[in-house]
Amino acid sequence: CTELSPMAPNTRGESMIAIKEYAARRRDLMSMMEPNSIAVVASAPEKVRSKDTYYPYKQDATFTYLCGFPEPSAVMVLIPGREQGEFLVFCREKDRLKETWDGFLHGPEGARDDYAADDAFPIIDIDEILPGLLEGRGRVYYDIGKDAEFDKHLMEWITNIRDQRARGAVPPGEFVDLGYYVNEMRLLKSAGEIKLMRRAGAISAGAHRRAMQASQPGLYEYQLQAEIEHEFAFHGATGPAYTSIVGGGRNGCILHYIENRCRLLDGDLVLIDAGCEYLDYAADITRTFPVNGHFSAPQAAVYDVVLAAQAEAFRSIAPGIAYNCANEATISVITQGLVDLGILDGDVDDLIARGAHREFYMHNAGHWLGMDVHDVGDYKVDKSWRDLEAGMVLTVEPGIYIAPDNLNVDQQWRGLAVRIEDNVVVTRNGCEQITADVPKERVEIERLMAS
């Protein structure tokens, strides 16, 4: 293929993370590593889907973050201060026959030329070479327990070194969790990452607009899923960042509803939680709208409480504000709203204190977002909610879910489910919504659906 779209994943177009950014990440990581240490990162294994066919390959996120090399059967090694080269890659060799069947392989030459490895070797030589690199290092940084098969290999290499002790070999004495360092780095997004996340957000917003415009009673949930995922693919996204949720009516009350097989009924709401993955970065948007394009009075009442909760949460997102403030803001607005609607009864502060909202709002207001939809990074530091910092990206996703069999509430509320979810980047003095290009005010939704 000679004419790849400049936006196509896995090409080296303008829009991708630059090679020099990967180099800077490796430098940052190496500057945190102890002297005389080594980091070893394994590519993700391939996964069988059915007999001899495989799921589309997804590279290990740490591997991608540190070098962008996209192939399986690869290992990257960082050795700070090593004169002959600090960044080494083991990977599959080029193989004409294999490439005819399964596609392009970079080979060690490509790892050097295209990914800036100081040196690269065939993966089949790793048992010969890696023990020599591990020998004499004090510490090994790696993702302990992430891949049982790789843990086993690493232990075999270490055991081999131990067996050579009588000949003076020194096995590494300490193993350190690499994730601890890389995950903290990943939590703060660079300008290049934010650009990709804006694009993931824009494509996903377009997909939600398309679903709103396509909606009509009688369609099946999977048909709106198809509209959404068509839009992802059409704009060069890899695909959904997680299995799309399209829940009509009471199905919206099932938080992780992914069957998407039911018919969409006149008079029901439909809750769609779907976001694409674009050049390794996820978007995560939820919109809830009436299948027939018109909110009923009870639907509108619940919807407006959730929308107000989200607006209040945005006001609690800025550098220096604790991560959980946005969550607390949504709990306040939702509890007050449920009391106003007569769904909860009592003093709002008492209800909040005893978590009465949990029956109707049983998840938190959001999570970190990045290369993983539920991205890495701690939420608490020393047992306290951490403060937000510019460059963090998170979702804001309050919801109200009223179980269809909840006999304690008036019948008009039963089976209603509303979630509204957007993605924000923490900026210097607040936050920027990167998924705003799909309506969420009721009148705007109704206008788009009528157009």
Q: Which residues are catalytic?
A: 52, 256, 273, 284, 363, 367, 374, 397, 401, 419, 421
Angle between helices 221-234 and 191-214 (to 10 degrees): 140
Site string for ligand GLY, 421-450 (x = CB under 6 A): x-----------------------------
Q: Which does 442 bind (CB under 5 to 8 A by kind): Mn ion, ligand GLY, none?
A: none
9 vs 247, beta carbon nearer Mn ion: 247
Minimum distance from residue 64 beta carbon to Mn ion (Å) = 21
204 alpha carbon, distance to own chain's centre? 14
Q: Under the criterion CB under 5 A, does residue 273 sit at the interface with Mn ion?
A: yes
Strand partners, 422: 396
Lookup: tokens for 238: 């890899």
Tell me the site size for ligand GLY, rule CB under 6 A: 7
Query: Cα separation of 115 and 134, whole Å?
Result: 23
Amino acid at 121: F
**Which x/- pattern over 331-370 shows residues binding ligand GLY (rule: CB under 6 A)?**
------------------------------------x---
- CA angle in degrees (0–180, nearest 5) for 83-86-87: 150
What's the closest the beta carbon of residue 128 comes to ligand GLY, in angstroms?
Answer: 44
Beta pairing class for 384-385 and 393-396 = unpaired
CB of 242 to ligand GLY, least distance (A): 5
For ligand GLY, which is the closer residue by CB, 36 or 243?
243
Among 150, 242, 281, 413, binds ligand GLY (CB under 6 A): 242
Which partner in ligand GLY, Mn ion, none is near 135 (CB below 5 to 8 A by kind)? none
Residues 77, 83, 85, 90: is their CA dihedral positive or negative? negative
Q: Where are the beta strands (DSSP E) in 170-315?
A: 174-177, 239-240, 245-248, 269-274, 276-278, 281-282, 285-290
Burial-class residue 55 by CB neighbours within 10 Å (0-12, 13-18, 19+): exposed
Q: Which of 395, 398, 422, 439 binds Mn ion (CB under 5 A)?
A: 395
Residues of this chain, 274-333, that bind ligand GLY according to CB under 6 A: 284
Q: Which of Mn ion, ligand GLY, none sits in contact with 242, Cβ below 5 to 8 A by type?
A: ligand GLY
User: 390 to 409, contacts with ligand GLY by CB under 6 A?
Assistant: 397
Q: Which residues share a beta bridge with 139?
A: 37, 174
Q: Angle, nearest 10°, between helix axes 19-32 and 107-115?
A: 90
Identity of the residue, 268 or 284, whose beta carbon is nearer to Mn ion in the bound complex: 284
- By the 8 A CB rule, do 263 and 224 touch? no
Give the range of 33-41, 127-135, 284-292, 343-351 binding Mn ion by CB under 5 A.
284-292
The DSSP letter of residue 424 is: E
What character string, x for contact with Mn ion (CB under 5 A) and - otherwise, covers 399-438? ----------------------x-----------------
Comparing CB distances to ligand GLY, the nearer of 135 and 397 is 397
Binding of Mn ion by 284 (CB under 5 A): yes
Q: Least separation, in Å, of the C-beta of 300 and Mn ion?
A: 22
Give yes or no for residue 327 binding Mn ion (CB under 5 A).
no
* Shortest Cβ 4–Mn ion spacing (Å): 30
Could you tell me how far CA 14 lies from the centroid of its own chain?
Answer: 22
- Is the CB of 42 or the CB of 197 nearer to Mn ion? 197
Beta carbon nearer to ligand GLY, 43 or 310: 310
Member of 193, 221, 227, 273 binding ligand GLY (CB under 6 A): 273
CA-based nearest residue to 16, from 189, 206, 195: 195
Region binding Mn ion by CB under 5 A among candidate stretches 62-70, 106-114, 147-155, 395-403: 395-403
Q: Considering beta carbons, is residue 194 or 265 the nearer one to Mn ion?
A: 194
User: What is the per-residue DSSP string for 383-423?
Assistant: TEEPBP-TT-EEEE--EEE--TT-TTS-GGGTT-EEE-BEE
Nearer to ligand GLY, 171 or 275 (CB): 275
Q: What's the CA gap between 90 and 92, in Å, rounded? A: 7
> Are the C-beta atoms of residues 330 and 312 closer than 8 Å to each other?
yes
Residue 170, number of CB atoms within 10 A of its CB? 14
Binding residues (CB under 6 A) for ligand GLY: these are 242, 273, 284, 367, 373, 397, 421
Binding residues (CB under 5 A) for Mn ion: these are 273, 284, 395, 421
